[in-house]
């Protein structure tokens, strides 16, 4: 587990910045398939 707050915040910020772009195309593709 990550105990340092700095690393934790960095991981959270990285996840938040990376997750939306990865998820949006999936929703677009699902919408196009339907």
Residues in the chain: 34
pTM: 0.40
Alpha helices in the chain (DSSP H): 5-33
Confidence of residue 16 (pLDDT cuts 50, 70, 90): confident
pLDDT for res 23? 66
1 three-state secondary structure: coil
Q: Which residue has the higher pLDDT, 10 or 34?
A: 10
């Amino acid at each position: 587990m990550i105990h340092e707050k700095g690393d934790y915040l960095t991981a959270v910020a990285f996840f938040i910045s990376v997750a939306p772009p990865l998820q949006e195309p999936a929703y677009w593709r699902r919408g196009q398939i339907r």
